[in-house]
Structure 1
Amino acid sequence: MLRILHQIPEVEQTDSSDTAPTANDTRPCVPNDGSRGHPYCCRRPCLFFAAAQCEAGARCDYCHLDHEPRPPSLNKKQRFILQEFSRAEILVILLPHLEAKAEQMGQAADAAPIISSFHRELQILSVGVHWSTLSQRSHVLDKVLQKMKFGDVARLASSRFYGGS
């Protein structure tokens, strides 16, 4: 899943064999793997880089680019609620948020393969979903999911940790 997230062309990866950018080169330079997909799909900021002490450099799995204040994440209660849902219910909750975020980013076409794979999985799993109580139980999550980055919501959707089935 993370490979797919990194394919979203928010920024392009350059390797050490590339020549220095020219004045006509408009490609943004990504300093490391953790920064790929910045700002919507990158990893969280590298604390060591912020303190000018990241020894991993280009191999670092955390973002080396500027970020807004800490992005929202699920609190303990919200994580517990999410764990009570089945895999299909999680996808039903998260897919509308992913679709809206892809539109907001202007990356709907690039995010389509990710979203389509979740839709296919949902079609397979949707037997036995308790649709009537789902919206009542999931409304607690909506506010934070609306504020989260596309990549963070996609990671929740791809996580095998959550869900009863």
Structure 2
Amino acid sequence: MALKLMYRSTFIDVDECISDGSETGSRATSPARLPSGTSPDMRRRGLPVRSKSAPALAGNGRDEIGGMNLSLSALAQRAEQFHTLLRLKGKEEFSEMPSPQGRRLSSCSESSTDVMSLASGDPGFVRSISTISSNTISTPCSVGSAGHPDLCRRPCMYFAAGKCSNGAACDYCHMNHDGRTMHLDKRQREFLSKIPNEKFLALILHYLEAKANDNGFRSAANELLQLLRGFAHLASNEPIVLPELPTKMWSKLDYMLKKMTFQSLVSLAMKSNSGSDFADQMSDAMSRMRQSLTQ
């Protein structure tokens, strides 16, 4: 069923027409609803109808309505294009759902050529949807995008503004991030800073192991997790004992740590008092983990 928008009596109206051009019964105009002096045939032919309160239009007014109808026709076409984009995006997300072998992570080289061919005749349409889903539209690859969405760096603010000069060498992510990045507030950071370093690392390790198991990349993360266990003075299979925290603080902290990405938790652990050697080893292990998952 074709969607046709018309400008009538200062309102945007919809004409739903079947393929032979006749009007459907659900949209047939009742004579009782028409202004005096107006025939149902005028509605069917898409002629402008004046309400009782609207003044009569001169020739220029009718020309203006004709121009508005052309604009509305383009609007309906763009709406159909956008609907197609959403369907393509849904298929892409479905294809990236977790599998029994492990979660499939996006890489920078992936793009949707179907969406680009859809809007190839309308550059304005491409610009308008570029901010909706950078995963769908072909975008420059960047170093920080590797392992998106769980292992990538935080979003590049310059790329979002359309002016990242580093391009592929950028250390921040150039792909779409749904929702805002979770960060601990000042009170939570101060509270964690008072926990002994080994217990703090054990706390972060608890959430890292849970995320690796839930997202299907435990084997790829094994080197990093074992490294963190060593600095937390925990044996390979030793259970993690979480620090005792006030109930109110623990509830909020647990929520935030569960919402943070794997990369964000690793960055939080690297800010501990374990020294620069620990941070360098964690960074190298994280890089090798990204490479193993994106090859």
TM-score normalised by L of structure 1:
0.71
Return the match for 1:82 from 159, 184, 192: 192
Match of 2:176 in 1: 66
Of structures 1 and 2, the one with the larger relative CO (CA 8 A, separation 6+) is 1
Match of 1:142 in 2: 254
Give runs of aligned pairs for residues 1-165 of structure 1, distance below 5 A: 10-11=105-106, 31-123=141-233, 134-137=243-246, 139=250, 140-160=252-272
1:136 maps to amino acid: L
Give the distance between the partners of 1:107 and 1:83, measured in 2 at CA: 29
Deviation of 1:161 after TM superposition, in Å, equals 5.3
Q: What stretches of structure 1 of length at least 5 have no aligned partner?
A: 1-8, 15-20, 22-28, 125-130
Give the distance between the partners of 1:67 and 1:113, measured in 2 at CA: 27
Deviation of 1:122 after TM superposition, in Å, equals 1.4
Q: What stretches of structure 2 of length at least 5 have no aligned partner?
A: 1-103, 112-138, 235-240, 276-295
1:51 maps to amino acid: A
Per-residue deviation, residues 96-143 of structure 1 (Å, max 9, x unmatched): 10011001111011111111111111117xxxxxx79x2225725211
Q: Percent identity?
A: 34
C-alpha contact 2:158 2:164 (8 A) present in aligned 1: yes
After the TM superposition, which parts of structure 1 deviate over 3 Å for at least 4 consecutive aligned residues? 9-14, 160-163
Cα RMSD between the aligned structures?
Answer: 2.9
Per-residue deviation, residues 59-91 of structure 1 (Å, max 9, x unmatched): 111100011111211111111111112210111
TM-score normalised by L of structure 2:
0.41
C-alpha contact 1:97 1:146 (8 A) present in aligned 2: yes
The structure whose Rg is larger is: 2
